[in-house]
Structure 1
Amino acid sequence: MLLTKVVALSLSFASVWAAPSPPPQSSEVLEVENAFTASKTAPKFKSLKASAAIEVYWHVVSKNSSVAGGNILDSQIAAQITILNEAYSTTGLSFSLAGVDRVVNATWFNKVTDGTREQTEMKRALRKGGAYDLNVYSSGFVEDPRRLLGYATWPWDYAANPQNDGVVIHSGTVPGGDNAPYNLGHTLTHEAGHWVGLLHTFQGGCNGAGDQVADTPPEARPAFGCEVGRDTCTADRLPDPVHNFMDYSDDSCMTEFTAGQAARLTAAIATYRTQ
């Protein structure tokens, strides 16, 4: 579920796996953060609440016409948008479904993942809207050995490659999907967080500025399952943020964004994703 899970910030992807992966290097995070700080627009928090909802363009990529083959139901997509809005309700951010298109393409379903030729072909053919519009591609990741759940692009990478912008998720992670315990819709919650500039809560481990948000306690490594009460960075005497949407816990354990994360995504949207 992770941005850094893919490789590095400079690669423009934030990805999530069912298994841990190395976070970006501190030097890469520092470079991005310095540029973000230099160009940051910091509107008042209430201004995001007054802005238009982010329009979501959903692209269903399946290998055949069955739900098992990736052709998820309209009701599942609607439920996913509801889950997104509930998750982001404390941040002032909201989402509205702008459209759904369906493509049966077994090659894309099997082969699309970060950096592949098939991903480029898919996005060139299907992507809609601008920087403030969220394109979601649900697919299968069949040939990706990492058990990938999803990945996202960063807001600061939009200007250089707008066609690449968006989030790709495993079709089984939507509400009612077959990818338990990640089938309540929070893979998209997590990946959308990367899309608006949030890092993993475990970024940087116990040292340094971590995820660049002051009110998320540091943690040494990702949380899985629902490790309530875990404290991997004992110096701060605070439990790890295992309920945070930007950790790796099971969907049923994820319940919150912090006020600091809300402020960060507000600034990132104002800086990189203007309407």
Structure 2
Amino acid sequence: MLRLQALVLILLAATHALAAVARSSFGCATPPPTSQNLDMSRVLAAKEKASRIDFNSKTVFSPKIIIKFYLHVVASSTKPADGYINNQMLGKQVDVLKADFAPMNIEFKLVNISRTVNPRWARDGDEMGMKKALRKGLYHDLNIYILPKLTMDSLGYATFPTIVAPRGSAAFIRDGVNVNTQTLPGGSYTRFNLGRTLTHEVGHWLGLYHTFEGGCSDVGDMVSDTPAQASYSSGCPKGRDSCPKMAGKDPINNYMDYSDDACYTGFSTGQRVRMAGFWHNWRLKS
């Protein structure tokens, strides 16, 4: 009997170890920017260039942005293990979100928390059906869906701003951010459980691309003060320089890379200006 109990404990420990290994990379399922997304970025980049913004300055002005947001917890049962998480865990995630964007002069105001038990939705099996039922607010209101399993086994994904998203349209309904439950503070993904997946995905929602978008090209992620990057980072590779012929080392500490949560330190000044541009030119007006 004792041997059987010992065997069970060993198997449980092994299962836990395997789960940790399975999350050895970030895994963002946000689609690449479309030609329309890129055109919008070019418009903003031209405006930024014309205004002669000094991205090396830490005193770049951008009007305060206040974003109302809704949290939607979707679980397969009322058990925490199945995604039915408590307000304490959600509160810690909200604190991280607010702290990460505060230096960008962006404030978040929570409107409501909803909880839904639906096994199909909880495994990301009907994104549009789920969002059609749960989505709240206007196009500039952020809807965050927290699920125990996401498509492609990713940690999160988001939608970029579009030029026009009429209420009731597919673009309007789909709009928002999805994150895996285990990426919240205290989740089981040991390298990605400080809440920074949501920060990364909200960056997409506000118009930012991955820092490695475009690779070692002059265009890159279309933000002038983020150095070119050939591919995503893993872990926290200090000193990494994947585009040695171009200025600057890889921005491994930037929220829009794929580094571990503990490696992240913030957004760039250029990204701050770009998010404000997307907000005022499209999200707020649509």
Distance 1:134 1:195 in 2: 8
Deviation (angstroms), 1:68: 1.1
Higher relative contact order (CA 8 A, sep 6+): 1
8 Å CA contact 2:27–2:155 kept in 1: the answer is: no
Partners of 1:6 and 1:154 in 2: CA distance = 9
Q: Distance in 1 between matches of 2:46 and 2:247?
A: 33
Aligned residues of 2:37 and 2:162 also touching (Cα < 8 A): no
CA pair 64-134 structure 1, distance change in 2 beyond 3 A: same
In structure 1, the partner of 2:32 is: 8
What's the TM-score once normalised by structure 1's chain length? 0.82
Question: Against the structure 1 CA distance between its residues 174 and 96, is the aligned structure 2 distance closer, same or farther, given a 3 Å change threshold?
Answer: same
Name the residue aligned to 2:139: 131
Alignment of 1:250-269 (within 5 A): 250-269=260-279
Task: Report the structure, 1 or 2, having the larger helix content.
Answer: 2
CA deviation vs aligned residue, 1:218-259 (integer Å, no higher than 9, x gap): 110000111111000112342210000000001111111011
In the TM superposition, what whole-angstrom CA distance separates every residue of 1:89-112 from its partner, at most 9, and x where no partner exists?
Answer: 221111121110000111111233
Query: Which secondary structure state, in structure 2, belongs to the residue aligned with residue 155 of structure 1?
Result: coil
* 2:165 corresponds to 1:159: yes
Shift of 1:33: 3.2
| Alignment correspondent of 1:73 | 86
Q: Write the distance in 2 (CA, Å) between the matches of 1:173 and 1:225.
A: 15
> Structure 1 regions of 5+ residues with no counterpart?
11-26, 113-117
Does the 8 Å CA contact 1:46/1:92 hold for their aligned counterparts?
no
The separation in 1 between residues aligned to 2:278 and 2:240, in whole angstroms, is: 30
TM-score (norm 2): 0.79
Q: Distance in 2 between matches of 1:36 and 1:156?
A: 14
- Number of the residue aligned with 2:99: 86
Which amino acid letter does the alignment assign opposite residue 239 of structure 1?
K
Give yes or no for the alignment of 1:97 onto 2:110: yes
Larger radius of gyration: 2
RMSD: 2.4
Q: Does 2:250 align with 1:240?
A: yes
1:230 to 233, 237, 240: 240
Partner of 2:63: 48
Q: Are residue 181 (structure 1) and residue 191 (structure 2) matched? A: yes
* CA gap 1:104/1:157 in 2 versus in 1, 3 angstroms: farther
2: CA distance, partners of 1:157 / 1:88: 24
Q: How far apart are residue 76 of structure 1 and its match?
A: 1.3
Distance 2:70 2:224 in 1: 33
User: What is the Cα deviation at residue 176 of structure 1?
Assistant: 0.7
Whether 1:171 and 2:171 are equivalent positions in the alignment is no
Cα pair 1:2 1:200 within 8 Å, conserved:
no
State the distance in 2 between where 1:93 and 1:216 align.
20
Query: What 5-or-longer segments of structure 2 have no aligned partner?
Result: 1-25, 54-59
Identity over aligned pairs, percent: 38
Question: 1:157: Cα distance to partner?
Answer: 5.7
Q: Name the count of aligned residue pairs.
A: 247
1:147 corresponding residue in structure 2:
153
